[in-house]
Amino acid sequence: MNKYLSGLAAAVAVALLASPAPAAEKIVISQWDQYWPADLLANFTKETGIEAEWSVQIDNEDMMGKVTASGGKGYDVVFASGPFVEALAKLGLIAELDHGKLPNLANLYAQARNLPFDPGNKYSVPYTWGTTGLCYRSDLVQPDPTSWDDLLKPADALKGKITMLSTDRWLMAAGAKSLGYSVNTVDPAELAAIKELLIAAKKNILAYDDTTFYSKLVSGEASLVHAWDGWCNFGVAENPAIKFVIPKEGSDLFVDAMVVTAASEHKDAAHAFLNYVLKPDVHASIMAFSLYKVPNEKALAVLDQTLLTTYPTLAISSEVLFQQEQLRDLGDGQKEFTRVVTEILAAQ
């Protein structure tokens, strides 16, 4: 027998012998880019024997498109922000979680166990949380900004040196909070007032920017930007003069969470992944990599504490975070909400 054939025979024999054990399971995870350490999936496979494939999602909207188009088939674990978890649950696309398979839920902060968009973690496990606010060059902006009005009604020196987020919910939240409204308002009179404020603000901004605002701060193209706390840290990493502040009128609390699709054929493996992420050292490594806060009390205990001084937003307490208002799905109010957003973005 030539050696290739004998090798083949040996491989067949091994396969036959191995066949009683379950074949290595494989799960597909839809997750943003740059949101977990590069070796996380490999370490997960090493520890559990479950293979994991990463499908990159651009944003929540992209994820919703993929998941609703396929009815969730082809994905086992999906990452989604709070309002989208709510919509996925209402659409029946995600499974109720089996807490018996998630002992590490106990590591979470008490607040993270009872989030309004998903009380009692029925469908979702929070992954990161944070807020939006003002990210600025403290060497170029004096005095330090404290209010949404510093962004929306800027001093002359800042005109044309400001960027705002254009993702609908956060764009509108800046106006809503400045006027003392809820970030979830769909009241027509309140929407009209927000619209007027944001259209007036538009002439003073350099651009709407959801992705490169921190590099505009670093280059000096912009001095003050509307930003997520975690992404502001990418700027801080390059220039320590960059600071973040939650405006005094308050802001939103956003939660990015993990869910298991209802269509998943590997629900046990998907739960194993969720439970793995909740391990203190794993969740801490995610915080150190993404520079977003994680809702895991035990993870904060094992985190490299120097990060908290380098990136002050990571030290924002869960109490302060919980004074901010949580984003909820708007349901039927979404249509009117989107129309107002379109009017703002189309205004000349």
Partner 1 sequence: MSELTRRLVLLGPGLAWFALFLVAPCAIVFVYSFLERGTYGGIDRVFTLENYTRAADPLYLGIFISSARIAAMTTLAALLFGYPAAYGIAAAPKRWQVPLLILVMLPFWSNYLIRTYAWIVLLNREGLINHGLEVLGLADEPLPLLYNDFAIVVGLVYGYLPFMVLALYSSIARLNPETLEASADLGASGLRTFLRVTLPLTVPGIAAGCVFVFVLSIGNFITPDLLGGGRTLMVGNLIFNQFLSARDWPFGSGLAFLLIALMMLLLLVQAVVARRAGGAGLHA
For 198, 224, 238, 254, 294, the CA distances from 235, given in Å and listed in that order, are 25, 12, 5, 20, 20
Report the nearest approach of partner 1 to the CB of residue 113 (Å): 24
How far apart (Å, rounded) are the C-alpha atoms in residues 161 and 214?
13
Look at residues 246, 239, 248 and name the one whose alpha carbon lies nearest to residue 137. Answer: 239
Look at residues 279, 318, 314 and name the one whose alpha carbon lies nearest to residue 299. Answer: 279
How far apart (Å, rounded) are the C-alpha atoms in residues 272 and 135?
37
Residue 41 CB contacts under 8 Å (≥ 6 apart), including other chains: 29, 52, 54
Answer for which of 6, 34, 70, 342 binds partner 1 (CB under 8 A) is 342
**Strand partners of residue 56:** 31
160 is a site residue for partner 1 (CB under 8 A): yes
Site string for partner 1, 212-231 (x = CB under 8 A): -------xxx----------
Token pair listed for 221: 């193209």
Tokens 């005094």: give the residue. 248
339 is a site residue for partner 1 (CB under 8 A): yes
325 is a site residue for partner 1 (CB under 8 A): no
Answer for which of 62, 98, 196, 304 binds partner 1 (CB under 8 A) is 62
6 is a site residue for partner 1 (CB under 8 A): no
91 is a site residue for partner 1 (CB under 8 A): yes
Which of these ranges, 57-65, 97-105, 276-284, 308-316, lies near partner 1 under the rule CB under 8 A? 57-65
How far apart (Å, rounded) are the C-alpha atoms in residues 54 and 38?
11
Answer for which of 59, 149, 190, 249 binds partner 1 (CB under 8 A) is 59
Report yes or no: 277 and 294 within 8 Å, Cβ to Cβ. no
Answer for which of 168, 229, 252, 325 binds partner 1 (CB under 8 A) is 168
Report the nearest approach of partner 1 to the CB of residue 133 (Å): 20
Which of these ranges, 56-64, 180-188, 191-199, 284-292, lies near partner 1 under the rule CB under 8 A? 56-64
**Which secondary structure element, helix H or strand E, spans residue 141, and what is its range?**
none
Rounded to 5 degrees, φ, ψ at 276 are -65, -45
Report the nearest approach of partner 1 to the CB of residue 206 (Å): 6
| 91 versus 193: smaller Cβ distance to partner 1 | 91
Tokens 């919703």: give the residue. 64
166 is a site residue for partner 1 (CB under 8 A): yes
335 is a site residue for partner 1 (CB under 8 A): yes
- 3 state DSSP class of 302: helix
Answer for which of 68, 70, 114, 317 binds partner 1 (CB under 8 A) is 68
Sign of CA dihedral 76, 293, 58, 344: positive
How far apart (Å, rounded) are the C-alpha atoms in residues 124 and 81?
10
Report the nearest approach of partner 1 to the CB of residue 223 (Å): 12
Report the nearest approach of partner 1 to the CB of residue 84 (Å): 9
150 is a site residue for partner 1 (CB under 8 A): no
Report the nearest approach of partner 1 to the CB of residue 178 (Å): 20
122 is a site residue for partner 1 (CB under 8 A): no
Look at residues 32, 43, 46 and name the one whose alpha carbon lies nearest to residue 281. Answer: 43
Token pair listed for 338: 């989107």
How far apart (Å, rounded) are the C-alpha atoms in residues 166 and 155?
22
Q: What angle is formed at CA 212 by the lines to CA 210 and CA 217, rounded to 5 degrees?
A: 115
Site string for partner 1, 185-214 (x = CB under 8 A): -----------------x--xxxxx-----
65 is a site residue for partner 1 (CB under 8 A): yes
Answer for which of 48, 55, 111, 167 binds partner 1 (CB under 8 A) is 167
Q: Which residues bind partner 1 (CB under 8 A)?
A: 59, 61-62, 64-65, 68, 86-87, 90-91, 160, 163, 166-168, 202, 205-209, 219-221, 329, 331-332, 334-335, 338-339, 341-343, 345-346, 348
